[in-house]
Structure 1
């Protein structure tokens, strides 16, 4: 592709909810703020305590955390599940304060669903080394409010229904998720490479699909991760197949 050549937009800028979910889902790290638990030394009980955590996402876009009880933030959440998450997408901006970021206020609760743990490990393969340790557990954050700075002067408050999708949008996709991911990785590595290199301007590599959801799909090679948004919200396997086929055709046309 020649420098400056136009591409079809990959996002839906008119949909601030989609933009916020895409910003979240594109993150692998987040800043987690918890409330210091009762009995905290130094009289700091109830004070906000920030830390850095790995993050993955449920199909509805709810953040997932795999955290150890040895960590202060986990013990804080056990005492009070209210928390905040900051997702930072400002890297690469000359003036980072003009870049997009999203803060989410929500309630964290332990999640026992093994499928959610699988989603986390697919996004962070290194987590498989400690996911089975007794002190580690998966937590799911239910968003209550969001505050997004999409760019200079573009500030939005978001209600919960914009930060997570209703079951009708992902219920029929969920049973087919693993089959779609396995099929793409086993039979369509060439398509995944085209998505990454031609649609997302990423370097060549052994790109693999790590997850798919109604808003888009996640790709990784080695330490690199990237996200491919869909042009329309997909709700089942047939819609997913149609969108993936459309995107690979578009990628081939770019070359």
Structure 2
């Protein structure tokens, strides 16, 4: 079997299909749960291929674009940056969601926060995606990453640093995942994407106390001055220092005008 695997061509599908279904305890294949995990993680293990063809993995800060495509920041002088420039096939493995208050895997509802990087992870399903990485110099994309990871701003000002976007080709979470289950179609949400900066300023200004309450009540996060770092049709990304959380709207939001009413519904849910 080992020889057969080694003989497969380099352009084979990103994640080899499994002929036998694996059914394990706590294995959640709900696409909404997978997108929650993808959106919430502030860190991921980034795997690239070095010039000799060997895998090279490193931890990196991660964010997502409005559609859910993973974003990372790296220097073209760093080994993984040089690797990705030479061979754009990459893989990312994300932190699992925190267990709920009953000790169960994942989130107890549509909302969630990330788990601490400690303890046994072998019993936890981990979300992994594979795809193609490319530099994305769109100022909106850059701002979305820096809003989530403010401490990286000094690095982002250096000429050799760029934001990279990963176009997801496959996913894995115990079983194979179709990219359509991870990446949103934004054709009806152009105005929401364009107004994101203004919406975040409003939310972090006059609605800051509401965000803190929702993070604690719905996502199970510790109390604190949580701030909104991103909004998309499905939900709202939050951060407090190095901690992250996500709130999922009850109904899809496709325009700036629908954002505050959606927040009010979440507030009712938290009562």
Q: TM-score, normalised by structure 2?
A: 0.78
Residues 50/95 of structure 1: CA separation in 2 closer, same or farther (3 Å cut): closer
1:133 corresponding residue in structure 2 = 158
1:96 corresponding residue in structure 2 = 121
2:136 corresponding residue in structure 1 = 111
1:157 corresponding residue in structure 2 = 176
2:80 corresponding residue in structure 1 = 73
Contact 2:213-2:223 at 8 Å conserved across structures: no
Displacement after TM superposition at 1:169 (Å): 4.8
Q: Which has the higher strand share?
A: 1
2:248 corresponding residue in structure 1 = 229
> Is residue 2:48 matched to residue 1:23?
no
Structure 1 stretch 24-33 or stretch 235-244: which is displaced more?
235-244
User: Where does structure 1 differ by over 6 angstroms across 4 or more consecutive aligned residues?
Assistant: none
Which ranges of structure 2 fall in alignment gaps of 5 or more residues?
A: 1-26, 98-114
SS of the aligned residue for 2:122 comes to helix
Residues 148/169 of structure 1: CA separation in 2 closer, same or farther (3 Å cut): farther
RMSD: 2.0
CA distance in 1, matches of 2:155, 2:255: 33
Which ranges of structure 1 fall in alignment gaps of 5 or more residues?
A: 1-12, 38-44, 150-155
CA distance in 1, matches of 2:125, 2:257: 33
1:183 corresponding residue in structure 2 = 202
CA distance in 1, matches of 2:133, 2:204: 32
CA distance in 2, matches of 1:159, 1:79: 26
CA distance in 1, matches of 2:28, 2:250: 12
